[in-house]
Amino acid sequence: MSELTYRDAIHRALVEEMDRDPNVLIMGEDIGVYEGTFRITAGLLKKYGANRVIDTPIAEAGMVGTAIGMAMLGLRPIVEMMTFNFALVAADQILNHAAKIRYFSGGQVDMPMVIRGPQGAGVQLSAQHSQSFEAFYGHFPGLIVATPATPADAKGMLKSAIRGKDPVIFLENAALYGMKGEVPDDPDAVEPFGVSRVVREGAHVTIVSYSRMLVLSLAAAAKLAEEGIEAEVIDLRTIRPLDLDPVYQSVRKTHRAVVVQEQWKPFGAAGEIAASITETVFDELDAPVERVTGEDVPMPYARNLELLAVPHEEHVIAAVKRALYRD
Amino acid sequence: MGEIIMPKMGDAMTEGRVVRWHKKAGEKVTKGEALLEIETDKVNLDLEAEEDGILDNIAFEAGAVAPVGAVLATVGAPGAKRAEKPAAAVAPAAAPVAAAEPAAAAKKPSGEISVHEKKTAEQEIPAGVAGRRRSSPLARKMAAQKGIDLALVAGSGPGGRIVAADVERTRPVSRTGATALAPAPGSRLPVLEAKVVPLTAMRRTIAKRLAESIGPVPHFFLTVDLDVTKLLQQREQVIEITGVKASVNDFIVRAVALALRSHPLVNASFGDEAITLHGDVHIGVAVATPEGLLTPVIRNADRKSVTDIATEVRALAEKARSRKLLPDEYQGSTFTISNLGMFGVEEFTAIINPPNAAILAVGAAAQRPVVDAGQVVVRDRMKVTMSCDHRVVDGAVGADFLRTLRQYVEQPLRLLI
């Protein structure tokens, strides 16, 4: 084990996989000579050369389309989106082609490609550059949507993404890049998709989240413990496939659930999860499933308004208390 | 400084229970704001502030029982303190009704309090489901497992929602004992818990009034077996023509009301100095609710049609079950009818509802063989038993009333003209 940042864990995964398999290559804007806006690809051009570390024009649809062709013919391309907001330009390539080619070909053609990059609110990135897309991509069959919250998961899940045969939307969070954590050194330690994890045990309420909201939820759980409220915190890790069995199991114990997501409430991941809980363990619920979400507005640029638009620890605490009838 | 006083919500009310305070002592309140909820013997109400000020001097905490007229708290200017303790604290716990009433009136300064029907979210539910108790899925599951009737559980969640903690606090108790079928002999019978169920204000009132009745009131009972074949046929026609689902009991209410017009002594009350012949015919109809018996009153039932009675009984019964009945909807009956026919009870005797002079206990209508002109024929029959207060109603008076009642019931066209 080594203590790595989330950024270095992703970097390490890229290096290990490019060493392991010459078919792995990466392309994106400013990832070679400039070494990446978030320095994820630092040193890669020098190490692997311009055939495997490709600086592209600002043309996301072209990047993804090219990667789809490569993947169909057996390469394992990784496309870096400078932020996932830019991938909207490539939505047709991702949703209508990458997600569907195996299906269209009757299972004859795999799609071993990864589209990775940061998403979510940062500091004054404004309305176009602060969005979260897990619910958007999670809607479409044919995609895998990964939302790692820890350096270990970032490394292990990215390796699974690169080695797999499905198109993976790998959603990093820019605010987590500096976060440190223990990461396995074993180059063959991979993390599977569709396996949620209980990261804190508790008997009173179940908090469900993923990505950066997990950090928030754990901080809230620590504060709640000071008041004698023991929250069980579950990290979903992937939004598609979505493993809710540990959530149902937890709700059978706690009888209350709070789902935390960063972005807008309508039609969000929290709504899907809350509905699934209600469908599956209705008789176990002692309170409506609570949702903690961002405000239903385009992200403001002004810092004071931006802070009001995203969920904070105290929102999670308040939702937990509502679920416990203690507000 | 205004005083919040336990109001008198009916002739029989001597005390009320503070259910919960919506406001805390020292809190600022504004005119019209609900201050607390009280439970009287029949209904729960919110008491509202009628002036702005600071709530103070809370003399009765949630759960405490206060006599009518007691000062529950005060609303005054910030910082103002009452010189003496609220009068309630020293008022006798069981102040006689007569004494308490003027006290309440005297202590009630110009509109310090007003009593409104409790406005909860529950009331906004459409009429058809007004009696539904809100509960969490888990609470329902737990109640089913423990054999707890949710109607007996007080909900502590938003809008009175019953949550798991409320069910946990409640121990299983069966009110009817008959609703759950006992396991077959030889099966492993569950051990039944012993328990103490605290008296609600309503149950206390029922007990007091019924004991008062059977004690000083010399009851005697008269039973007649009525032929309701025609009445049942006519009921079908009435439903077909009007679309109003009038019950057999609605016809009986109408028949009793008309019969009472001819027998003023049965429509009467015994008093220490005099017997009151009421003239007006107001029929109390016993309604079973989860908390106990209520008798909403159909006023001037002798001047209402069967379908009007049916509609009114339905509305009042629904209000009774959801504890929304107002005092003037359950007080002032001159005669009461209790019907256990729907439970398959063939005949029974009822206890008079004071100050009524009589009550009619109605059994189930059923097909029975009877001898008619030397032939055994099958007829629809129904037994009714009248309990009479012998101080007012002598045997012959009661029997004469029942003869008239038989005419109305067995010649039901009379009920429609």
Give the DSSP H/E element, type plus range, for residue A242.
none
Q: What is the pLDDT of residues A161-193, one digit of tens each?
A: 999 999 999 999 989 999 999 999 999 999 999
Q: Which residues of B fall within a CB distance of 8 Å from A255?
A: 138, 164
At residue A135, does pLDDT exceed 50?
yes
Beta carbons of A283 and B156 less than 8 Å apart: no
pLDDT for res B251: 95
Please tell me the class of the B2-117 domain. mainly beta
- Over chain B, what is the mean pLDDT? 79
> Within 10 A of B415 (CB to CB), how many other CB atoms are there?
22
pLDDT for res B217: 85
Phi, psi of B227 (to 5 degrees): -90, 120
Per the listing, tokens 């001047």 go with B303
Which chain B residue is nearest to residue A287, measuring alpha carbons? B136
The band of B403, judged by pLDDT with boundaries at 50, 70 and 90, is: very high
Half-sphere CA count of B343, side-chain side, radius 13 A: 13
Residues 163-182 of B with CB under 8 A from A: 163-165
* pTM of structure: 0.54
Is A2-183's fold the same as A197-323's? yes
Looking at CA atoms only, how far is residue B161 from chain A in angstroms? Answer: 9
At residue B292, does pLDDT exceed 70?
yes
Catalytic site residue B116? Answer: no
Q: Which residues of A fall within a CB distance of 8 Å from B156?
A: 325
Q: What is the pLDDT of residues A245-296, one digit of tens each?
A: 999 999 999 999 999 999 999 999 999 999 999 999 999 999 999 999 999 9
Q: Is B185 exposed, middle or buried (0-12, 13-18, 19+ CB in 10 A)?
A: exposed
> Within 10 A of B329 (CB to CB), how many other CB atoms are there?
21
The residue among B247, B243, B289, B330 whose CA lies nearest residue B130 is B289
Q: What is the rounded end-to-end Cα distance, in angstroms, of chain B?
A: 59
Helix %, strand %, coil % of chain A (to 5): 40, 20, 40
Q: Residue B173 corresponds to which tokens in the numbers above?
A: 């108790």
Half-sphere CA count of B121, side-chain side, radius 13 A: 7
At residue B24, does pLDDT exceed 90?
no
- Pseudo-torsion of CA A278, A280, A284, A286, nearest 10°? 0
Q: Which residues of B fall within a CB distance of 8 Å from A325?
A: 156-158, 163, 165
When CB atoms are compared, the residue of B137, B156, B157 closest to A285 is: B137
Give the DSSP H/E element, type plus range, for residue B194.
none
Beta carbons of A287 and B137 less than 8 Å apart: no
Domain regions of chain B by residue span:
2-117, 123-169, 202-416
Q: What is the DSSP string of A119-175?
A: ES--SS-TGGGS---HHHHHTSTT-EEE---SHHHHHHHHHHHHHSSS-EEEEEEGG
**Phi-psi group of A183: left, alpha or beta (phi > 0 → left; psi -120 to 50 → alpha; rest → beta):** beta
The band of B225, judged by pLDDT with boundaries at 50, 70 and 90, is: very high
For domain A2-183, say whether CATH 3.65.10.10 is its number. no
Residues 6+ apart with CB under 8 A from A227: none
The residue among B252, B309, B251, B300 whose CA lies nearest residue B279 is B300
Residues B202-207 have a mean pLDDT of 77
Minimum mean pLDDT range among A39-53, A215-229, B64-78: B64-78
List of long-range contacts for B234-238, beta carbons under 8 Å, 24+ apart: B234/B412, B234/B413, B234/B415, B234/B416, B238/B306, B238/B307, B238/B416
Q: Which residues of B fall within a CB distance of 8 Å from A282?
A: 137
The band of A137, judged by pLDDT with boundaries at 50, 70 and 90, is: very high
**Phi-psi group of A136: left, alpha or beta (phi > 0 → left; psi -120 to 50 → alpha; rest → beta):** alpha
> Within 10 A of A248 (CB to CB), how many other CB atoms are there?
16
> Within 10 A of B100 (CB to CB), how many other CB atoms are there?
22
Q: Residue A315 corresponds to which tokens in the numbers above?
A: 């929102």
In B97-251 the beta strands, taken as DSSP E runs, fall at 113-117, 219-227
Instruction: Let me know how many helices (H) and strands (E) chain A has, helices first.
Output: 12, 14
- Cα distance between residue A166 and residue A156, in whole Å: 16
The band of A110, judged by pLDDT with boundaries at 50, 70 and 90, is: very high
The residue among A256, A206, A278, A318 whose CA lies nearest residue B165 is A256
Minimum mean pLDDT range among A42-56, A183-197, B229-243: B229-243
Classify B335 as helix, strand or coil. strand
Q: Residue B132 corresponds to which tokens in the numbers above?
A: 């539904």
Q: Residue A68 corresponds to which tokens in the numbers above?
A: 């789809």
At residue B66, does pLDDT exceed 70?
yes
> Within 10 A of B77 (CB to CB), how many other CB atoms are there?
10
* Structure-model confidence comparison of residues B307 and B176, the more confident one: B307
Suggest the residue from B136, B150, B168 to mutate for an interface test with chain A (most A CBs closer than 10 A).
B136
Over its C-alpha atoms, chain A yields an Rg (Å, rounded) of 20
Looking at CA atoms only, how far is residue B337 from chain A in angstroms? Answer: 42
For CA atoms B221, B317, B323, B161, the dihedral sign is: positive
Q: What is the DSSP string of B284-309?
A: EE-EEETTEEE--EETTGGGS-HHHH
Beta carbons of B138 and A285 less than 8 Å apart: yes
- Cα distance between residue A305 and residue A311, in whole Å: 12
Fill in the DSSP letter of residue B220: E
For CA atoms B399, B401, B402, B408, the dihedral sign is: positive
ipTM above 0.85 for this complex: no
- Cα distance between residue B170 and residue B191, in whole Å: 17
At residue B266, does pLDDT exceed 50?
yes
User: CATH second-level architecture of A197-323?
Assistant: 3-Layer(aba) Sandwich (3.40)
CATH tag, B123-169? 4.10.320.10
Tell me the one-letter amino acid at B91: A
pLDDT for res B283: 96
| A255 touching chain B per CB within 8 A | yes
- Cis amide prior to B355 (ω within 30 degrees): yes
Q: Which residues of A fall within a CB distance of 8 Å from B138?
A: 255, 283-286
At residue A23, does pLDDT exceed 90?
yes
Which chain B residue is nearest to residue A285, measuring alpha carbons? B138
Which chain A residue is nearest to residue B141, measuring alpha carbons? A283
Suggest the residue from A206, A248, A325 to mutate for an interface test with chain B (most B CBs closer than 10 A).
A325
Beta carbons of B138 and A325 less than 8 Å apart: no
Fill in the DSSP letter of residue B150: G
Domain regions of chain A by residue span:
2-183, 197-323
Per the listing, tokens 């009518």 go with B68
CATH tag, B202-416? 3.30.559.10
